[in-house]
Amino acid sequence: MSQLIKITLPDGSVREYEKGTTGLQIAASISEGLARNVLAAKVNGQVWDATRAIEQDSTLQLLTWNDLEGKNTFWHSSAHLMAEALEALYPGIKFGIGPPIETGFYYDVDFGDHKLEGEELEKIEAKMIELAKQKSEFIRKEVSKQDAIAYFQEKGDEYKLDLLEGLEDGTITFYEQGNFTDLCRGPHIPNTGFVKAVKLTNIAGAYWRGDEKRKVLTRIYGVTFPKAQELKDYLTLLEEAKKRDHRKIGRELELFTFSEKVGMGLPLWLPKGTLLRERLVAFMKRAQDKSGYQQVTTPHIGHKVLYETSGHYEKYGKDSFQPIMTPNEGEAFLLKPMNCPHHCEIYKHKPRSYKDLPIRYAEFGTVYRYEQSGELHGLTRVRGFTQDDAHIFCRPDQVKEEFIKVIDLVLYVFKALGFQDYTAQISLRDPEKREKYIGTDEAWEKAESAIIEAAAEKGLETVTELGEAAFYGPKLDFMVKDALGRKWQLGTIQVDYQLPDRFQLEYIGSDNQKHRPVMIHRAPFGSLERFVAVLIEHCAGDFPLWLAPEQINILPISEKYISYAEELKGILEDAGITGNIDNRDEKIGRKIRDSEVKKVPFMLIVGEKEQEERKVAVRKHGQGDLGSLSLEEFIEYFQGIISQSLSKE
């Protein structure tokens, strides 16, 4: 007699199936069309192979290409498909890891003496498609540690043997498809036939396990799709992304540069970039001043003891610049990896009362992290960056109110800068790995509840991610979609019960007893460098008018009108409008084209008529001629655009 199990579907309905039924079979019982599209199954909150038997009462979500976890499974399986193709084409190669990433996948490969060239990628793509058409099933096998070691010893793959060292017997699985077997926890799609389109996008070097002392492997990046048209659309998107690359636009607009002599990952801001940066800082300072923040300034270095107290040295010491030793024996300082320990010491410099709280300290503080050279990328991944950091010290009963105020500030920033599509990610600790975090369960539960309630009260669209919390507390991260639909993490708010305890911070309560304040970390921009990079790519260098480093370009038709242009420039600067005069001996058409290329928002053309009438002929970038305006009319029009952009309504 067969045993029945109850399966609860996402809509709350419950169906009964025979014990051992798979997610794919359940999909087929609902709809053949659904079954054709199922990539994986989420069973009791864990993503499984859709072909894996379900042995007990469970909740079930069937995952397709439209689900993030479905895409991740598809791309993980595609990494295995690429590995199978590579092994067929280059016998004897060895494999590191091959995970899915945000868009696609990669695999780290040891080719031995062979150096993989870019032109070989097409051959690998063709082999992947050939193997995909065989519709080979992904077969999961539980393997003992002894058998797994024996398999990879015989194969001669030291990388898999290295990975096996950290695994326990009873937790090890192999996956096979076609002629390829890999050490993998899964899950995978039902068979390779789901993969219809392949593009290998890049070749890079990567140290095995991120250790610069170990061998550099060849990292091959790729992306796959279940439909050929989706690959075409993606490649079109990539071309647009290349045009918007912040490194390219930053160079063209003369915003920033890098120098090997200064050091990799240490950006140099050019005059126009510095102006843009200062405008962002001034914008944030105005908003913070209105919200009751006090500006503070702290050094670029701190005593090693400071970061040992905060826990940052234990967590990040290996990834930071090495200690700076002083002439005093045993005395060591560190380049500042975080601003928060310094702010704790500022709070602590005098006694505090419950009436003083909340106290909000803000600083545009530059911090330093030793990112590996292979991870550096323009402004998005650097070794020295400035955070729009602030720390709020408040009573426990003030946490939710303060958290909501910070959410309002973040949303104001997004509106002013044209980021309209965003999701709030509630990042909680991993309940299975509590040793990664500091502090009591009670403090964590309070902090997590405050974040969840605040996000709900603001009506934010949220997703919850376990294991994404900071080591000292949960956080709310804002995931923003740019104009190309790419997701970026911009803005973070974190509740922290741990640092006040580590630094022995106190305030005297209404009961005349000592109490610990709660600390809220917040950075709406995050890193100024990374924020500028994302902003450049989002708006393709066409910055909001209030932010543009060069807001106007005055174009005299000939040298006879340069003195009038200089007079105009002075009047406009008094009105807070900045820009330049193009006094080159060039035709006006060339000057207009060059201004368009530089993405200057407004061109003010002046000639005989404009000088006589005390007017300017106005052209708007990307729109063309707006007609002739008096200087007063132009200033009013210009300031009206900015007022609307920065309005909180």
DSSP code string of 101-124 = ETTEEEEEEE-TT----GGGHHHH
**Residue in 288, 387, 494, 611 annotated catalytic:** 387
184 is catalytic: no
389 is catalytic: yes
**Residue in 184, 340, 344, 539 annotated catalytic:** 340
Dmax (CA) for the chain in angstroms is 101
pLDDT score for 442? 82
**Residue in 369, 381, 405, 615 annotated catalytic:** 369
344 is catalytic: no
**Residue in 219, 336, 381, 391 annotated catalytic:** 391
391 is catalytic: yes
Residues 6+ apart with CB under 8 A from 31: none
3-state SS of 19-62 is CCEEHHHHHHHHCHHHHHHCCEEEECCEEEECCCEECCCEEEEE
Q: Give whole-number Cα distances, 256 to 268, 364, 594, in Å.
A: 6, 19, 20
pLDDT score for 22? 93
Note whether 45 and 184 are within 8 A (CB).
no
Cα-trace Rg, the chain? 29
**Residue 437 pLDDT exceeds 90:** no
pLDDT band at 280 (very low <50, low <70, confident <90, very high): very high
Q: Which residue has the tokens 């695994």?
A: 167
**Residue in 71, 76, 381, 521 annotated catalytic:** 521
DSSP E strand boundaries for 569-610:
579-581, 602-606
What's the pLDDT tens digit per position in 363-375?
999 999 888 777 7
Peptide bond just before 524 cis, omega within 30 deg: no
pLDDT band at 484 (very low <50, low <70, confident <90, very high): confident
What's the pLDDT tens digit per position in 204-241?
998 898 888 889 999 999 999 999 999 999 999 888 88
Residue 628 to residue 600: CA distance in whole angstroms: 18
Q: What is the DSSP letter of 375?
A: G
- The string of DSSP letters for 248-307 reads HHHHHTT-EE--TTT-TT--EE-HHHHHHHHHHHHHHHHHHHHTT-EE----SEEEHHHH
Residue 345 to residue 365: CA distance in whole angstroms: 15
What's the pLDDT tens digit per position in 241-260?
888 999 999 999 999 999 99
**Residue in 71, 304, 405, 475 annotated catalytic:** 475
* Burial per residue of 432-452, b for 16 or more beta-carbon CB atoms within 10 angstroms, e otherwise: eeeeebbbeeebbebbbebbb
Note whether 568 and 604 are within 8 A (CB).
yes
Q: What average pLDDT does range 607-633 have in this prediction?
A: 90
Q: Give whole-number Cα distances, 627 to 553, 556, 558, 560, 617, in Å.
A: 16, 16, 20, 22, 6
**Nearest in space to 415 (alpha carbons), one of 295, 546, 291:** 546
Q: How many residues does the chain have?
A: 649
Q: Give whole-number Cα distances, 320 to 368, 617, 637, in Å.
A: 7, 54, 49
**Residue in 389, 477, 496, 582 annotated catalytic:** 389
248 is catalytic: no
What's the pLDDT tens digit per position in 90-130?
999 999 999 999 889 999 999 998 999 888 999 999 999 99
Residues 6+ apart with CB under 8 A from 28: 34, 35
343 is catalytic: no
Determine the angle formed by the axes of helices 399-416 and 441-457, rounding to 10 degrees: 50
**Nearest in space to 507 (alpha carbons), one of 516, 519, 498, 499:** 516
**Residue 2 pLDDT exceeds 70:** no
**Residue 1 pLDDT exceeds 60:** no
Mean confidence (pLDDT) of the chain: 91
What's the pLDDT tens digit per position in 337-391?
889 999 999 999 999 999 999 999 999 999 998 887 777 889 988 999 999 999 9
What's the pLDDT tens digit per position in 523-566?
998 899 999 999 999 888 999 999 999 999 999 998 898 999 99
369 is catalytic: yes
What's the pLDDT tens digit per position in 148-204?
999 999 999 999 999 999 888 889 999 999 999 999 998 999 999 999 999 999 999
**Nearest in space to 559 (alpha carbons), one of 592, 580, 579, 581:** 581
pLDDT score for 480? 86
Least reliable range by pLDDT among 114-118, 486-490, 607-611: 486-490
